[in-house]
Amino acid sequence: MLTKALFKTFLIAVACAFTIHAQTPDSLVLNVTVTNEKGMLSRGLRLESFAITVDKQPQKILSLSDQEVPASIGILIDDSGSQYVAPSDGLSLPGKLRPALERFLKLSNPANEYFVVTFNSEVQLVQDWTTDPQAVIDTLDTLKFKKLTAMFDAMTLALDKVKTGRNSKHVLLLISDGSDNTSKTQFKEIRDKLKASDVMLFCVGANVRFRLAGTINYRLFPTDDAEKLGELSVATGGRAFFTANVSEPMASNRVFELIALELRTHYQLVIAPEHSDAKARFRKITIEAKQGTDRLVARTRLWYYR
């Protein structure tokens, strides 16, 4: 018979073996969001609820966890001239953004860490890594809303910075209308850099211009600048939210609440894809989720480079 001490040692060995098996040098950790048809977050799924392919080849899922893990988050705030909005109701844009950002920080995992980058013609790291929500909020006092917009340069800096965080989950939260008119970095460069990373991008586009499109039933669509942000967000498993009314998403706090709650309810799935070709290239990921007869929507990064 095993003594209690030997049994405990056995359990630890089994746990270590599972961890080694689940996360080998070739393994890939996917942060996955699952919602139902109404957009409500879906919890309680099992490993068999998911199906994953890489380049159309089915993948074995080595492990699944729905335990919450903290994130390292970079917050990027556009303070170029295109984001200037004349104060209304006695509040400027920073005044309207403050309660929304406070709500985001309050609902987020207390173990998260943050840095803040602001950008106009210049890109500035105005707050290095911190776990203090008030230090993040205080950066709103530095916003100027002048000059041109170097958004892609800011994203490049933030992508490098976020990978130095202490947490395994990496997130960028970008607050901008999507306009870029002075970056040295090109859209394709930042797109490929995001696709090759494990960073999730969430965008909140305030003061965004819309255009009419359609043939019979006309609909409003974001302009090309905002659509690019949508493309980047989807590729990383994140989301993009746009509004022409600068106060609408911030007064209600709903957008920032949704992002905070989503980051706390990810599934983490581990796979170890085997590649028939040795040449490194972008690999396409597809994922599906089901629970009985319920139709679910699963989102994760669409690509990785290996």
Spell 110-146 as b/e; 16+ CB within 10 A means b: eebbbbbbbbbeebeebbebeeebebbbebbeebebe
Span 192-212, pLDDT tens digits: 999 999 999 999 986 555 444
What are the extents of the domains in the chain?
Answer: 25-67+266-305, 71-264
Residue 280 amino acid letter? A
Looking at CATH, the fold of the domain delimited by 71-264 is given as Rossmann fold (3.40.50)
Cβ–Cβ < 8 Å for 114, 212: no
Q: Per DSSP, which regions of the chain are E strands?
A: 28-36, 50-54, 57-59, 61-65, 71-78, 113-119, 123-130, 169-175, 200-205, 210-213, 219-222, 240-242, 267-271, 282-291, 294-299, 303-305
Low-confidence ranges of the chain (pLDDT < 70): 1-24, 85-93, 206-223, 244-252
Span 236-278, pLDDT tens digits: 999 998 876 555 544 457 889 999 999 999 999 999 999 988 8
pLDDT of residue 160: 98
pLDDT of residue 248: 55
pLDDT of residue 5: 47
Residue 249: its H or E element? helix 248-252
